[in-house]
């Protein structure tokens, strides 16, 4: 390997990735798909908000037995919108990561038969269309964008790095870094892509194994999250006025409010415990 290539690799490894690798513009293109924020469609937003406010209104009626207080409490449904957006965004990124792994497999196959990187990317789009026939699929949109950029004489590594910037997915970032340093050093791209695919596959399998191990605990957590509300219903139905002071007096409603805060705090803590990143 040439001396200047060795120096280039050393500088890349010992410096910050974002500074060492990116010789391109860091500006966002608003016309391209973005993965930093999930944007809900109007009907999706309205339905989610309606359901969230309905659930909070029902909880308010259960704990306060007052329509006005329950209506005020139902406004807490707005706080669920950012939570739901984060959930949908996380799933979107997980799906894109899985799709990206499939893309790397077909890319390595095309490269292994001696095709150039640019030609292999076009062949990859054709192969991926068999698995993902929906053209609105994220990975199909991204491959189309890459191929259009390559046809406009943009470096292929720039196209990958742009996807890495927009998606903020670690696997894609690492692959973009590897592609860029490999193009500089002149190493075997086929082996690089095969190794990258294997690493991503192992990470995905590890993530799935952790999800399987946590599945039972997540089910227990869901059951336990319902228990406080079930207990209130049981006491109201069988207590013969035992809960009336808590529903009609000021101090009782303060106690019920504190109970609600504790319940939701427990749900948030349990959710964070179950949220394991690989």
d(CA 192, CA 32): 27
Distance (Å, whole) CA 163 – CA 150? 14
Number of domains in the chain: 1
**CB atoms closer than 10 angstroms to residue 2:** 9
Residue 17 lies in a domain: no
Residue with tokens 């790095």: 161
Which pLDDT does position 92 carry in this prediction? 92
Domain membership flag for residue 135: yes
Residue 188: name the closest of 255, 114, 246 by CA.
Answer: 114
pLDDT for residue 29:
53
Structure confidence at residue 187 as a pLDDT band (50, 70, 90): confident
The pLDDT of residue 26 is 43
What is the C-alpha to C-alpha distance for residues 231 and 110, in angstroms, rounded to an integer?
A: 61
Residue 12 has a pLDDT of 41
Segment among 17-31, 49-63, 123-137, 228-242 with least mean pLDDT? 17-31
Let me know the angle formed at the C-alpha of 28 by 91 and 84, rounded to the nearest 5 degrees: 25
Look at residue 175 and tell me if it is in a domain: yes
Would 19 be classed as within a structural domain? Answer: no
Q: Average pLDDT for residues 141-154, to the nearest whole number?
A: 91
Average pLDDT value for residue range 138-164:
90
Mean of the per-residue pLDDT values for the chain? 82
Q: State yes or no: pLDDT of 201 exceeds 70.
A: yes
Q: How far apart are CA 97 and CA 94, in angstroms?
A: 5
The answer on pLDDT for 104 being more than 50 is yes
Spatial separation of the C-alpha atoms in residues 180 and 166, rounded to whole Å: 17
The residue-averaged pLDDT of 210-227 equals: 84
Q: What percent of the chain has pLDDT over 90?
A: 25
Average pLDDT of the segment spanning 192-205: 80
Residue 216 has pLDDT above 90, yes or no: no
Q: Give the residue-averaged pLDDT of 26-34.
A: 63
The verdict on residue 99 lying in a domain is yes
pLDDT of 73 reads 92
Residue 199 domain-assigned (yes or no): yes
- How large is the average pLDDT for residues 116-135? 89
Q: In this model, does residue 47 exceed pLDDT 90?
A: yes
Average pLDDT over residues 194-206: 81
More confident residue, 164 or 7: 164
Give the pLDDT band of residue 207 (cuts 50, 70, 90). Answer: confident
What percent of the chain is predicted at pLDDT more than 70? 87
Task: Give residue 51's pLDDT.
Answer: 95
Q: Is the pLDDT of residue 180 over 90?
A: no
Kindly report, residue by residue over 52-100, the tens digit of the pLDDT.
Answer: 999 999 999 998 888 999 999 999 999 999 999 999 999 999 899 889 9
Per-residue confidence (pLDDT) for residue 277, from 0 to 100: 64
Residue pLDDT, tens place only, 123-132: 999 999 999 9
Query: Is residue 20 domain-resident?
Result: no
In a domain, 4, yes or no: no
Q: Which of 97, 98, 99, 117 has its CA nearest to residue 107? A: 117
Give the model's pLDDT for residue 48: 95
Q: Which domain holds residue 139?
A: 37-274
């Amino acid at each position: 390997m040439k001396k200047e290539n060795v120096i280039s690799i050393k500088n890349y490894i010992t410096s910050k990735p974002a500074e060492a690798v990116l010789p391109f513009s860091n500006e966002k293109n608003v016309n391209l798909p973005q993965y930093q924020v999930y944007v809900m469609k109007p009907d999706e937003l309205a339905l989610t908000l309606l359901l969230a406010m309905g659930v909070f209104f029902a909880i308010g009626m259960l704990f306060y037995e007052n329509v006005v207080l329950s209506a005020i409490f139902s406004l807490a449904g707005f706080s669920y919108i950012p939570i739901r957006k984060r959930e949908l965004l996380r799933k979107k990124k997980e799906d894109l990561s899985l799709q990206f792994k499939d893309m790397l497999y077909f890319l390595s196959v095309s490269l292994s038969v001696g095709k150039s990187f640019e030609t292999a990317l076009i062949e990859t789009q054709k192969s991926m269309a068999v698995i993902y026939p929906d053209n609105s699929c994220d990975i199909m949109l991204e491959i189309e964008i890459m191929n259009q950029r390559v046809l406009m004489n943009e470096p292929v590594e720039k196209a990958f790095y742009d996807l890495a910037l927009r998606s903020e997915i670690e696997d894609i970032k690492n692959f973009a870094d590897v592609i860029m340093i490999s193009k500089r050093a002149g190493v075997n791209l086929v082996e690089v892509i095969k190794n990258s695919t294997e690493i991503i596959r192992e990470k995905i399998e590890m993530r799935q194994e952790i999800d399987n191990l946590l599945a039972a605990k997540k089910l227990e957590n869901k059951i336990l999250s319902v228990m406080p509300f079930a207990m209130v219903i049981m006491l109201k139905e069988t207590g013969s006025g035992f809960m009336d002071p808590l529903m009609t007096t000021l101090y009782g409603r303060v106690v019920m409010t504190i109970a609600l805060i504790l319940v939701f705090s427990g749900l948030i803590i349990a959710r964070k415990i179950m949220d394991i990143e690989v």
